[in-house]
Amino acid sequence: MASPQVVAHRGASAERAEHTLGAYQVALDQGADALECDVRVTRDGHLVCVHDRRVDRTSSGRGVVSELTLPAMSRFDFAHWHHELPESADELVFEPRASAAVGAAQRRILTFDDLLGLVRAQRRRIRLFAETKHPVRYAGLVEAKLTAALARHGVSAPAHKDESPVVMMSFSSAAVRRFRADAPGVPTVLLFDRASRAVRAGELPRWADLAGPSIRLLRRDPELAGRWAARGRDTYCWTVDDPADVELCRRAGVRFVATNRPGATRLRLSGGCPGTSVAVAAR
């Protein structure tokens, strides 16, 4: 059985401020197979990578994303709150740039266009899992903006879903359905922390390609991934940091594991353990 692919949850977010260029660069340096981000729409119509409804927790500013403009958010520091120096031996092993000062560009608000541009610039194949957040002020606009961004980058209509550099995700089934109608060739994930009897039996809406359970659900029922696989659906599991959970995902046949610690998770899946070096895939 193939090992799961490692998805850097908001970048290497245990080691760098989430959703910053620095967090994603560290994740790439650590050999992550894919990156994950949350996307929201600003007041002036830009897609930005922010998890919370407000920017208070993750920036030096205050306010609701949907009420702020991109220029306003560009004045905020999105890394000041996070300790940027190595806190463990793992970070020294996994981060060739750990001791470098975090530059101004790595502290600014990250737009979806810039993150997708980073992904597309890599010499090795990297996928970007983009989660649209709901409920939000602008409802379906976030999916429309995401579709438009993919079209600008020439990736809205891949020849095959397995070749798509972007995967769309949401906890909202309606959002996934909206996106599927606009970009039918781009794979989708329906995320959930609770599951109906039908979903636990292996059923998913036809507009969702992958099941996206929490690790909590998989702990309760390790056979979930197998039942979805029997119906031709892969599993994306979030958020997997504990070594026992990483091993559970491997045994269960999960295809993608979202983790805040992509370097350590990748090493465990390769048969190593934190504290030993690992070769990073060529960039």
Residues marked active site are found at: 9, 51
Q: Give the span between the Cα atoms of 210 and 216, in whole angstroms.
A: 17
E strand intervals along the chain = 5-9, 34-41, 47-48, 127-132, 166-170, 188-192, 210-213, 236-237, 256-259
Query: For residue 215, what is the enclosing H or E element?
Result: helix 215-220
Q: Give the span between the Cα atoms of 225 and 1, in whole angstroms.
A: 13
Q: Give the span between the Cα atoms of 9 and 42, in whole angstroms.
A: 22
- DSSP lists the bridge partners of residue 5 as 256
Query: Is 191 in a helix, a strand, or coil?
Result: strand
Contact 169, 212 (CB under 8 A): yes
